[in-house]
Amino acid sequence: MPPSLPLRPGTRARSVARWVSIVGHPFAVVPLLVAAVEARRGPAAAARGAALVALLFVLPLALLTALQVRRGAWSTVDASHPRERPVAFLVAGLGLAALLVALARTGPAGPLAGGTGVALALVAGSAAVTPWLKLSLHMATAALATVVLLARGAPLGWALAAGIPVLAWSRVALGRHRWVEVAAGTLAGAGAGVAMVRLP
Number of residues that this document lists for the chain: 200
State residue 167's pLDDT score. Answer: 97
State residue 7's pLDDT score. Answer: 66
Confidence band of 198 (pLDDT split at 50, 70, 90): very high
Average pLDDT, the chain: 91
State residue 1's pLDDT score. Answer: 35
The predicted model gives 46-67 an average pLDDT of: 94
State residue 152's pLDDT score. Answer: 92
Residue 139 falls inside a structural domain: yes
Residue 113 falls inside a structural domain: yes
Which residue range(s) make up the domain with 40? 12-197
Residue 1 falls inside a structural domain: no
State residue 3's pLDDT score. Answer: 41
The predicted model gives 69-92 an average pLDDT of: 93
Residue 5 falls inside a structural domain: no
Residue range 145-174, pLDDT digits in tens: 999 999 999 999 999 999 999 999 999 999
* 133: pLDDT strictly greater than 70: yes
Q: What burial letters (b/e) apply to 23-37, b meaning 16+ CB within 10 Å?
A: ebbbbebbbbbbbbb
State residue 2's pLDDT score. Answer: 40
Residue 7 falls inside a structural domain: no
The predicted model gives 80-104 an average pLDDT of: 94
Residue 119 falls inside a structural domain: yes
pLDDT above 90 covers a percentage of the chain that reads 77
The predicted model gives 2-20 an average pLDDT of: 75
Between CA 25 and CA 128 the distance in angstroms is: 22
The total of structural domains in the chain comes to 1
What pTM value is reported for the model? 0.91
Confidence band of 5 (pLDDT split at 50, 70, 90): low
Residue 4 falls inside a structural domain: no
Confidence band of 86 (pLDDT split at 50, 70, 90): very high
Residue 191 falls inside a structural domain: yes
